Amino acid sequence: MSDRPGRDVRGIVGCGFGIAAGALAWYYAKDFSAMGAVFPRTVAAAMMLFAAVYIAVALLRPSARAAGAPGSVWRRAALVAVMAAWSILLEKVGFLSTSVACYTAILVIANYDRWTPRMAVTYAAVGAAVLGGLYAIFRFVLLVPLPAGLLL
């Protein structure tokens, strides 16, 4: 791994960890039933594939470093807090309710631009489509039992 200017060394190392995590997930899915192993192995395969593609692109086509503002520590900490809250409240409140609340919180935390009515409607529509689609795929296609909780 070269450390020439323009190489995304952190990204390459992170993808290496992603490939290792995917390999571990694939290996430990052997203990699941045939149907239960489908989802973790699919996600593991996709994660390893995309990480390998990123590593190849980063090594073959180094890009110029983008000059930008440094990241915000409070935004990163808030993102971790929202994801922790999602994982804790998921079973108690329910998949859809918790996901909608956390999606909204992440939008508020991550958005640097000024809010406009059009942007808010677009984000709401995209969020509804993504969350509804994930719910339908998990529940009806993959037959994953999602927590119902108090709400949905």
Our count of domains for the chain comes to: 2
Residue 94 lies in a domain: yes
Cα–Cα distance measured from residue 54 to residue 121, given in angstroms and rounded to the nearest whole number: 32
pLDDT at 106: 93
Cα–Cα distance measured from residue 80 to residue 76, given in angstroms and rounded to the nearest whole number: 6
pLDDT in tens, 49-83: 999 999 999 888 877 555 555 667 888 899 999 99
Residue 146 lies in a domain: no
Statement: the pTM of the whole predicted model exceeds 0.85 = no
Cα–Cα distance measured from residue 101 to residue 124, given in angstroms and rounded to the nearest whole number: 12
Residue 148 lies in a domain: no
Domain containing 126: what range? 73-141
Length of the chain: 152
Which CB contacts under 8 angstroms, 24+ apart, belong to 14-20?
Answer: 15/51, 15/52, 15/54, 15/55, 15/58, 16/51, 16/55, 18/47, 18/48, 18/51, 19/47, 19/48, 19/51, 19/52
pLDDT at 146: 83
Residue 3 lies in a domain: no
- The answer to whether the CB of 85 falls within 8 A of the CB of 102 is yes
Residues 78 and 120 in one domain: yes
Residue 121 lies in a domain: yes
Residues 85 and 32 in one domain: no
- End-to-end CA separation in angstroms for the chain: 47
Residues 86 and 120 in one domain: yes
Residues 84 and 40 in one domain: no
Instruction: Give the residue carrying structure tokens 């108690």.
Output: 92
Q: What is the DSSP letter of 65?
A: P
Residues 102 and 135 in one domain: yes
Give, to the nearest 10 degrees, the angle between helix 117-136 and helix 95-110: 140
Residue 67 lies in a domain: no
pLDDT tens string, the chain, 152 residues long: the values are 444 457 788 889 999 999 999 999 999 998 888 888 888 899 999 999 999 999 999 888 877 555 555 667 888 899 999 999 999 998 889 888 899 999 999 999 988 888 899 999 999 999 999 999 998 988 888 777 888 877 66
Residue 2 lies in a domain: no
pLDDT at 3: 46
Residues 51 and 78 in one domain: no
Residue 92 lies in a domain: yes
